[in-house]
Amino acid sequence: MTNSTHRATISELVDTARMALLPGGNAATAVIALQEALLQAPRDIGLILFLGDAQHAAGQRKQAGQSYGVALRLASQIASSSIPPGIQEALNRAGDRRNEYARQYEAFLRSKLTGGGESSRFSESLEILFGRRQIYVQQPTKFYFPGLPQIQFYNTDLFDWAADLEAKTDSIRHELLNVMADEAAFAPYLPEEDKTSAHVRSVPLQGSLDWAAFYIWQDGQKVATNAARCPVTASAFDKVPLDFLPGQAPSVLFSRLKPGAHIPPHCGLINTRLIGHLPLIVPGPAWLRVGNEVHYWKEGKLVVFDDSIEHEAKNEATETRVVLLFDFWRPEITLPERQQISELISAIAEYSGEAVARES
Pair (198, 323) in one structural domain: yes
Domains contained in the chain, number = 2
CATH number, domain of 221, equals: 2.60.120.330
Q: Is the pLDDT of residue 231 over 60?
A: yes
Domain-terminating residue out of 111, 144, 164: 111
**Mean pLDDT rounded to a whole number for the chain:** 92
Q: Is the pLDDT of residue 358 over 80?
A: no
| pLDDT score of 350 | 86
Q: Tell me which of 113-127, 221-235, 238-252 is least confident.
A: 113-127
- Residue 141 maps to a domain: no
Pair (175, 240) in one structural domain: yes
Question: If you write DSSP's letter for every residue of 193-215 in order, what string do you get?
Answer: T--S-TTTTT-TTTT-TTEEEEE
Pair (198, 324) in one structural domain: yes
| Cβ partners under 8 Å of residue 249, min gap 6 | 219, 220, 242, 243, 273, 327, 357, 358, 359
The string of pLDDT tens digits covering residues 62-85 is 999 999 999 999 999 999 889 999
| pLDDT score of 198 | 47
Pair (83, 171) in one structural domain: no
- Residue 150 maps to a domain: no
- Residue 124 maps to a domain: no
Distance CA 105, CA 101 (A): 6
Residue 313 CA to chain centroid, in angstroms?
A: 11
Domain that holds residue 234: 156-352
Domain-terminating residue out of 43, 78, 111: 111
CATH number, domain of 15, equals: 1.25.40.10
- Residue 121 maps to a domain: no
Under DSSP, is residue 314 helix (H, G, I), strand (E, B) or coil? strand
- Residue 294 maps to a domain: yes
Which residues sit opposite 314 in a β-bridge?
262, 287
Q: Is the pLDDT of residue 199 over 60?
A: no
Question: Mean pLDDT, to the nearest integer, of 121-140?
Answer: 92
pLDDT above 90 coverage of the chain, percent: 83
Under DSSP, is residue 131 helix (H, G, I), strand (E, B) or coil? coil
- Residue 34 maps to a domain: yes
The string of pLDDT tens digits covering residues 154-186 is 999 999 999 999 999 999 999 999 999 998 999
Q: Is the pLDDT of residue 315 over 50?
A: yes
Distance CA 360, CA 331 (A): 19
Q: Is the pLDDT of residue 41 over 70?
A: yes
Question: Mean pLDDT, to the nearest integer, of 95-99?
Answer: 95
| Cβ partners under 8 Å of residue 38, min gap 6 | 44, 47, 48, 51
The string of pLDDT tens digits covering residues 200-218 is 444 578 888 999 999 999 9
| pLDDT score of 71 | 95
Pair (203, 325) in one structural domain: yes
| pLDDT score of 259 | 97
Pair (106, 160) in one structural domain: no
117 pLDDT tier (thresholds 50, 70, 90)? confident
**Helices H / strands E in the chain, number of each:** 11, 11
C-alpha distances in Å from residue 43, one per residue of 11, 47, 64, 73, 75? 16, 8, 16, 11, 10
